[in-house]
Amino acid sequence: MTRRSRLAASASALTYRWTYLRVVDEADADLFGFLGDRLPGARVVDCGCGPGITSEKLLRAGVDSLLAVDASALMVRQARARLAGFGTAQVYRAYVDATFLLGLADPPDIVLFKRSLYA
């Protein structure tokens, strides 16, 4: 991860509560409405998972497995704590780009980049 990427991840973590949490439920309702019956049993990668709010909702919606990834150590710690009770969730710190996705052993059914493409 480059210095610039680390700085972007740190800035994102600091402003997360003020810029994201205010709209998370509304945005997730739209997302889940769009995905509908594709969620139960799906293999999902949540790129830029933040503190794991949407990841948790995905697991509660019945996804089969979830790989949550974020570049911020703070966000990864929060996501791990939030998702600790779900046996099918894995949370990693990584800077995700297309090459990361190519290295996955099992191709996911859904790859989610929600408010993370800017990084």
**pTM for this one?**
0.79
Per-residue pLDDT averaged across 89-116, rounded? 84
Residue by residue, what is the 3-state secondary structure of the chain? CCHHHHHHHHHHHHHHHHHCCCCHHHHHHHHHHHHHHHCCCCEEEEECCCCCHHHHHHHHCCCCEEEEEECCHHHHHHHHHHHCCCCCEEEEECCCCHHHHHCCCCCCCEEEECCCCCC
Strands 110-113 and 89-93, how do they pair? unpaired
Lowest-pLDDT range, 13-22, 25-34, 56-65?
13-22
CA pair distance 33, 12, nearest whole angstrom: 27
- Predicted pLDDT of residue 95: 79
- Nearest-CA neighbor of 52 among 92, 111, 102? 92
